[in-house]
């Protein structure tokens, strides 16, 4: 089944934050490890990756997204990390402030997806912002040294104003993301 490859996400589009991220990505490249950096326009927190979904079910996913309610909220990004330091595959930035809200929305969407017969994530959700994928074991020690040196780096805060259903088209140059639907969160005074 081909379908439409899609996911629910919160985008990171604050220019100050993305500038800090770009600088750290460049620092990571100085390790000379084989990395595929996430492009600035593709930075996001994945809430649920759905994979290929039959095109006829997209309106159903849009309806599920419309059921999301809540206020906009602040997210603070602090520190680089990875899930398996011995064999890192993904380098990410941790989320401190705002993690509870991301988890809440992820769990809400998961419950709605299961109720509609969609598969949901099997792993426990851990909010993180992927900034690079490791493409091999070369210079791993240098890479992990840089990650460790930046484990407390403060990238700043941004306000999450929407949750999106995104379409992902894979290309040889990397994924291209498009909005399929946007659920605006309530503005907080």
- The catalytic site residues sit at 44, 128
As a whole number of Å, the CA-based R_g of the chain is: 17
CA atoms within a 13 Å half-sphere pointing along the CA-CB vector of 187: 1
CA 101 to CA 128: how far, in whole Å?
13
Tell me which residue has tokens 């994979």: 51
CA 165 to CA 179: how far, in whole Å?
6
**Token pair in block for residue 27:** 């620092």
């Amino acid at each position: 089944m081909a379908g439409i490859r899609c996911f629910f996400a919160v985008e990171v589009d604050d220019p100050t934050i993305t500038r800090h991220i770009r600088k750290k990505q460049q620092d990571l490249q100085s390790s000379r490890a084989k990395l595929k950096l996430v492009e600035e326009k593709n930075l996001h927190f994945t809430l649920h990756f759905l994979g290929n979904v039959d095109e006829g079910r997209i309106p159903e996913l849009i309806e599920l997204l419309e059921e999301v309610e809540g206020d906009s909220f602040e997210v603070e990004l602090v520190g680089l990390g990875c899930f398996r330091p011995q064999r890192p595959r993904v380098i990410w930035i941790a989320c401190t402030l705002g993690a509870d809200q991301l988890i809440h929305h992820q769990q809400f969407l998961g419950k709605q997806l299961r109720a509609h017969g969609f598969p949901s994530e099997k792993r426990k959700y851990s909010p993180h912002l992927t900034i690079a994928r490791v493409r091999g074991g070369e210079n791993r020690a240098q890479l992990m040294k840089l990650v460790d040196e930046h484990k407390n780096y403060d990238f700043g805060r941004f306000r999450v104003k929407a949750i999106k259903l995104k379409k992902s088209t894979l290309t040889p140059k990397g994924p291209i993301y498009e909005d399929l639907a946007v659920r605006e969160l309530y503005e907080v005074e």
